[in-house]
Chains A and B, each alone.
Chain A
């Protein structure tokens, strides 16, 4: 569980890292596209500028040549153009052709280049062509300068993106990933601890319940022995006992019966705690009707008025809810016994927060509200045994059932006038 969470955290960070890498690559691609555009533009601009410069040079040279040729000074033209071509390192070839096609100057540098520019200029005098100068320039220097520029630009882009990406990564790590990782770790730790404690709790509860069950269960056999033999003693040896003896025997029987009852309710409490919940729609009104008819069947003499709200339907475990309602109605029936006209009501109310609250109320003996919380603890009773008999486990069982439904249970009362037992579910 811990390792899985850790892996999940790693995966999250890795996903972020991948996203960042993709973003940085995209940025780089974008920058390089921009670079290429700029480089291409600057390259064509540089070429155009070069062409313009060459044309200007040729035009100036042409002007000089025309001037010299008009004076018949061909030597100057030849010398000038040769010196000119020789002097400009980028001139690979220069040809000057007279109007009649005579090649006056033919300069060839002992050098070649894959990148050249050829420009031609026709020097004219009074609209008559005098000299055509054709020049081939070496653009290697220009190209290599452009190449250097391009490399610098691309290199710079890469460096910028790398620095930017690194900064972004470290910032993200510091501001997002590390806290995230820490949070995940803390969470993991807390969860781990919770799991451990939960398991411990579960184990101790289970142990307790198992102990309780086995004790209750194992007590039954000897109890049955005590009960059986005291019955035999009472029937077969009744005449051989005096009154005191018979009284003792009766007390043994009563004790055994009571103990059996105690074991029953304890087993029920244990059962309620251990049972696996089966959550379904449950009609509480139907269960209540059922329980009441049982109660009346057992004691048909009693005059009790039941008021039941129909169709009280909830989601819960049918069996457990039946146990809870049985206990609540048993109490209401029992503690209203002294009233000539008992009244028992089962109804639903709605809390301020809009929650459904169910209520079993009676007009019986009531109890001192000072101890209202104590009632739900096992073996806690507010009435004497000779007043109202009981084990003190019933409400504890109710509480367990309601808790297992994530609900709440509480009680109110006016001593001598009656009690109200409320519960809500989940």
Chain B
């Protein structure tokens, strides 16, 4: 019985937000999510958080899922959403385009609010340094992915291994494809986020380089959100891991999440710098 009312409420929210337009109803909060998974799954995983926020503010919360990353950034920038969840790169782009945003909290994964990635090769291969990757086939994940493309691409460039120094490179769409493609011998080296690297390391991978630690995904707020409401929501988020059922809510979003923790804009400075340098060499 205890779970029934939030569940029913969440369902109502889902049904409501599934309607094609999301013109703001009076005193309704919009929670925007960038489309990193199917809308259905995202609705389900964020519904408990929406319920938490709703209870804290006393307002109904509606989940909104953008068509793509750029639309999401635009909607946040143009203050069409009250709360938005996004990745670090999106955040850096958002601030670059629309100016500073009120920051609510960032994810703490397994006790750490930062994440990193690996550039790796097969354990049996002779590649030991970034320099050894010259003249080899390299596998990236998604072009927009932080750890399977942007950051490692920057590292390679810094180490003097530009795209022109590679025998070839491809984007394989996701991290695991990169790991498996290298293991299968189709590519000599690749780059993935830490968890994927560790998951496949025992199958025959060797780390060549570790990326700098980047700040995790985060929640930002609408610049027009009243200060009082912002504080209520921020407090609700930061204390969530201590609340009853809080961990369930967190794990619903990401299994390895341990808390929502404070976040500052300069947490993203290193990424900002990397992206800036990448842009200078034409990688966006």
Is A373 an interface residue, CB under 8 A from the partner? Answer: no
- A73-B173 CB under 8 A given contacts A102-B203, A102-B204, A104-B180: yes
Q: Is A49 an interface residue, CB under 8 A from the partner?
A: no
Does B231 make an interface contact (CB < 8 A)?
no
Q: Say whether B181 faces chain A, with CB atoms less than 8 Å apart.
A: yes
B181: chain A residues within 8 A (beta carbon): 72, 74
- In the complex where A102-B203, A102-B204 touch, is A75 in contact with B185 (Cβ < 8 A)? no
Interface hits, A206-225 → B, CB 8 Å: none
C-alpha spacing A71/B180, complex, angstroms: 12
Q: Would you give the shortest CB distance from B149 to chain A, in whole angstroms?
A: 14
> Are the C-beta atoms of A75 and B174 separated by less than 8 Å?
yes
Cα of A98 to Cα of B182 in the assembled complex, Å:
11
Min CB distance, B11 to chain A, in Å? 29
Would you list which residues of chain A between 237 and 265 have a CB under 8 Å from chain B?
Answer: none
User: Is B148 in the interface zone, CB < 8 Å from A?
Assistant: no
Nearest chain A CB to B174's CB is how many angstroms away? 6
How many A residues are at the interface, by size bracket? 10 to 19
Taken residue by residue from 163 to 202, chain B's Cβ proximity to chain A (1 for < 8 Å, 0 otherwise) reads as: 0000000101110110011011110000000000000000
Question: Is the C-beta of A226 less than 8 angstroms from some C-beta in chain B?
Answer: no
Known: A72-B172, A73-B173, A102-B203. A78 touches B185 (CB 8 A): no
Residue of A nearest to B172 (CB): A72
The reply on B233 being an interface residue by CB < 8 A is no
Asked if A74 and B177 make an inter-chain contact with CB atoms under 8 angstroms apart, the answer reads yes
A104 touches B184 (CB 8 A): yes
Q: What's the Cα separation between A72 and B186 when bound, in Å?
A: 8
Query: Which residues of B have CB within 8 Å of A75?
Result: 173-174, 176-177, 180
Chain B nearest CB from A227 CB (Å) reads 151
In contact, A102 and B173 (Cβ under 8 angstroms): no
Report the nearest A residue to B204, measured CB to CB: A102
The CA of A104 and the CA of B183, in the complex, are separated in Å by: 8
User: Which of A75, A100, A104 counts the most chain B CB atoms within 10 A?
Assistant: A75
Give the residues from 159 to 196 in chain A that come closer than 8 angstroms, CB to CB, to chain B: none
Is A99 interfacial (CB-CB < 8 Å)? yes
Q: Which residue of B lies closest to A78 (CB)?
A: B180
Closest CB of chain B to A142's CB: distance in Å?
Answer: 34
Asked if A277 is at the interface of the complex by the 8 Å CB criterion, the answer is: no
Most chain A CB within 10 A, of B170, B176, B184, B204, is at B184
In the complex, whether A69 has a CB less than 8 A from a CB of chain B is yes
Q: How far is the CB of A288 from chain B (nearest CB, A)?
A: 133
B139 in contact (CB, < 8 A):
yes
Taken together as a complex, chains A and B put the C-alpha atoms of A103 and B203 apart, in Å, by 8
**Residues B185 and A73 in contact, CB atoms below 8 Å apart:** no
**Chain B, residue nearest A73 (CB):** B177
Bound-state Cα–Cα, A102 to B180, Å: 9
Residues of B within 8 A of A99 (CB): 184-185
Q: Given A102-B203, A102-B204, do A69 and B174 touch, yes or no (CB 8 Å)?
A: no
Q: Is the CB of B174 within 8 A of A102?
A: no
Residues of A within 8 A of B177 (CB): 72-75
- Inter-chain CA distance A73–B172, complex, in Å, is 6
Give A99's nearest chain B residue, CB to CB: B185
Is B176 a contact partner of A98 (Cβ separation < 8 A)?
A: no
Q: For residues 125 through 171 of chain B, which have their beta carbon under 8 Å from a beta carbon of chain A?
A: 139, 170
CA distance A166 to B277 in the complex (A): 99
Are A102 and B176 interface neighbours, CB within 8 A? no
Closest partner residue, chain A, to B170 (CB atom): A72
Which residues of B lie under 8 Å from residue A77 when comparing CB positions?
A: 180
Q: How far is the CB of A83 from chain B (nearest CB, A)?
A: 15
Once the chains bind, are A98 and B173 in contact (CB under 8 Å)? no
Q: A72-B173, A72-B177, A73-B173 are in contact. Are A98 and B183 (CB under 8 A)?
A: yes
Could you name 19 residue pairs across A and B whose Cβ atoms are closer than 8 Å?
A: A71-B172, A72-B170, A72-B172, A72-B181, A72-B186, A73-B173, A73-B177, A74-B177, A77-B180, A78-B176, A78-B180, A98-B184, A99-B184, A99-B185, A100-B184, A102-B203, A102-B204, A103-B203, A104-B184
Which B residues lie at the A interface, using CB under 8 A? 139, 170, 172-174, 176-177, 180-181, 183-186, 203-204
Q: In the complex, given contacts A69-B186, A72-B170, what are 5 additional A-B residue pairs having Cβ atoms less than 8 angstroms apart?
A: A72-B173, A98-B185, A102-B183, A102-B184, A104-B184
